[in-house]
Structure 1
Amino acid sequence: MRVYRNLNEIDVEFTDCVITVGMFDGLHLGHMSVLNKVLEISKLNNIPSVVLSFANHPQSFFNPNAPISSLSNLEEKTERLAALGIDFLIAIPFDSFIASLSANQFTTSILIDLLHVSNIVFGYDNHFGQNREGSKSYIDSNFPNIKTHRIQESILNNEVVSSSLIKTKISLGEVSQAAVLLNYPYSIAGQIIKGDQLGRTIGFPTANMQLSNAEKLIPAFGVYLTKSFILGQEYFGMTNIGVRPTVTNSRELRIETHLFDFEMEIYGEHIKVEFLDRLRDEKKFDSFPALVDQLKKDQIHAKALLAQIHIAS
């Protein structure tokens, strides 16, 4: 897959293509319906498949002081789109130039003059251009030479699959439900840093994560069954997200993962943590022995869930 980060970088002379335009945060089941249609049209007509997305969330342009919570960063989206077989990803900055374009200007200058688009695939709530004017009906009315395709919303358990719904699930700690909507486990990543090393004194050493992307949504405080990837290997364990109220009065957020049957020194290494299920809320215990007892129960619970997952798979 060819990736371009700016319209001026495009060094391929397009004569035809099928495209979809959007943020595609999370690349969830709803997005997959759109992308599968793009790939179907690409194969049927022997034309390139193109995803036009943005390197930054439009909200960061219109309201730069507002916090951004995303399900996927550009690197993650790039990996997933490449694995799907998309030919070109154009991930441009959402800046004053893009924000100023009307739907007519966006379609004419980018989709037609630059990319020679013959087919556009829209999601159920997909728009582009100023005031979200660019839509299937708009293209049908103003650019009849472009074929348009609209994909209906994906519904699961009587809920429309959307990035906002998935964010709500993750914010509530419902990571297993989020995984169903995403069709993969939600994950965060970062560098392993030194903590206060208290865990190893109570038999539960942890890998402490410093997030590599501050915009990634962090699941609700609590203890989770997780799968971690370090140095090309995967390890199951338990991850605590919170402020460790039994240990300290500090409100500093900590993300700490205890890896089962693991003894390597890994400070400074990159870690990716996938959230498989939620074990419990974070809570304050009356004593360290009470905390240790609970951690032992958590580990038993986690390994029982793992056994169920392995049996189901």
Structure 2
Amino acid sequence: MKIISDFNNYHANTPLALSLGMFDGVHLGHRSIINTLNEIAEKENLESAILSFWPHPRKFLNPDDDVKMLTTLDEKIELLAKSGIRNLFLKTFDEEFRNLTGIEFCKQILADKLHVKHLIIGYDHTFGKNKSGNYELLQSLSSELGFKVNQLEAVEFDNLNISSTKIRHALWEGRIADANKMLGYHYPLTGKVVHGRNLGKKIGYPTANLDVPADKLLPKSGAYIVEVWIENTFYKGMLSIGTNPTIDNSNKTLSTEVYILDFDEDIYDQAITAKFREFLHDEIKFESVEKLIQRLDQDKKLTGEFQF
């Protein structure tokens, strides 16, 4: 997959079948668009392409907005590459782009710079200044600008349209199974293992402390069953998101820690990935460390018996 960040240096050899949007999570709704895009590209002798943004435009519009993403940039690129997309236009949202009306965007970007011949958009997609661009505008301009346009129906889960927003809320609520079904894969966290306070080691549960990217969405605080991947090797694991209230009641800093079953190796400074499989329980402040250890023993048993 080719990644193009500067439209001005792009010279098309083959016209494009294109879709546009954040594609955060590259979930089942997105993949419905991508599959159609790839089919049309092959049928009409076009190259498939996605036009997306990084960072999220909300960060430009409001720098103080703490936007949390389902996918890091690397994760999004990897998912799109695996989907068969040939070109990814990765645009930084700026003042010039912000001020393009829907009509200007269609003419200056889609037609003049990218030479789009077929456009696929989702059921609710809007673009351009003040959301002035939509499916109806694209239809009205398609003949003049020489492209076809298709709008796809929403993909549903439990009678609700799948969206990145619904997946975020599922994760924030600890509904891991729902989030994974909408994503079409197990939600991952990748981070470098960093030194912590060795609190887990003192009670027989040494954990790997993950330094997770600041803009990556963390699910609800609590304990989870996860699959852990270290250099392409799979391990069973228990992941905790929280502040360790039983051991350190004064701590207010959220940490992400993984206890890896049947594992005793030095992995400091290595990047590992934890994929969420099941929510165990909310974060609990136990009345004693002994009670905490008893619960950890139960969680370990459940994790060991879990069918991955």
Same-fold status (TM-score > 0.5) = yes
- Residue in 1 that maps onto 2:231: 231
| Aligned equivalents of 2:97, 2:234: Cα separation in 1 | 41
The answer to whether the 8 Å contact 1:21/1:51 transfers is yes
Q: Which amino acid aligns with 1:31?
A: H
- Residue in 2 that maps onto 1:24: 23
- Residue in 2 that maps onto 1:215: 215
Q: Which amino acid aligns with 2:100?
A: L
| Aligned equivalents of 2:195, 2:123: Cα separation in 1 | 46
- Residue in 2 that maps onto 1:139: 138
Shift of 1:13: 2.4
Q: Deviations over 1:41-87 (max 9, x none)?
A: 00111210010000111111111111101111221111111111111
Indicate how the Cα distance of structure 1 residues 228 and 9 shifts in structure 2: closer, same or farther if over 3 A, else same. Answer: farther
- Residue in 1 that maps onto 2:84: 85
The answer to whether the 8 Å contact 2:236/2:303 transfers is no
Structure 1 unpaired stretches of 5+: none
The answer to whether the 8 Å contact 1:231/1:269 transfers is no
| Aligned equivalents of 1:115, 1:66: Cα separation in 2 | 31
The answer to whether the 8 Å contact 1:239/1:256 transfers is yes
- Residue in 1 that maps onto 2:165: 164
* Secondary structure of 1:265 counterpart: coil
Q: Deviations over 1:198-229 (max 9, x none)?
A: 22232211000111x21111111100001122
| Aligned equivalents of 1:299, 1:17: Cα separation in 2 | 51
Q: Deviations over 1:109-141 (max 9, x none)?
A: 111111111100010011211122222210111
The answer to whether the 8 Å contact 1:5/1:91 transfers is yes
The answer to whether the 8 Å contact 1:279/1:302 transfers is no
The equivalences for 1:119-134 within 5 A come to 119-134=118-133
| Aligned equivalents of 1:62, 1:99: Cα separation in 2 | 9
| Aligned equivalents of 2:84, 2:161: Cα separation in 1 | 26
- Residue in 1 that maps onto 2:281: 280
| Aligned equivalents of 2:244, 2:3: Cα separation in 1 | 42
| Aligned equivalents of 1:191, 1:159: Cα separation in 2 | 36
Shift of 1:33: 0.9
- Residue in 1 that maps onto 2:39: 40
**TM-score w.r.t. structure 1 length?**
0.94
| Aligned equivalents of 2:135, 2:175: Cα separation in 1 | 34
Q: Which amino acid aligns with 1:300?
A: K
- Residue in 2 that maps onto 1:109: 108
- Residue in 1 that maps onto 2:70: 71
Q: Which amino acid aligns with 1:77?
A: K
The answer to whether the 8 Å contact 2:12/2:115 transfers is no
Q: Deviations over 1:280-306 (max 9, x none)?
A: 1110111111111110001111222x2
| Aligned equivalents of 1:142, 1:84: Cα separation in 2 | 29
Q: Deviations over 1:244-276 (max 9, x none)?
A: 110102111111100000000111111111111
| Aligned equivalents of 1:53, 1:196: Cα separation in 2 | 40
| Aligned equivalents of 2:3, 2:186: Cα separation in 1 | 25
Structure 2 unpaired stretches of 5+: none
Q: Deviations over 1:181-209 (max 9, x none)?
A: 00011112211011121222322110001
Shift of 1:15: 4.3
* Secondary structure of 1:113 counterpart: helix
Aligned: 1:203 with 2:204: yes
| Aligned equivalents of 1:73, 1:287: Cα separation in 2 | 38
Q: What is the alpha-carbon root mean square deviation over aligned residues?
A: 1.2
| Aligned equivalents of 1:20, 1:13: Cα separation in 2 | 16
The answer to whether the 8 Å contact 2:18/2:118 transfers is yes
Report runs of 4+ in structure 1 exceeding 3 Å deviation.
none
| Aligned equivalents of 1:15, 1:132: Cα separation in 2 | 29
The equivalences for 1:4-23 within 5 A come to 4-10=4-10, 12-23=11-22
Q: Which amino acid aligns with 1:159?
A: L
- Residue in 2 that maps onto 1:118: 117
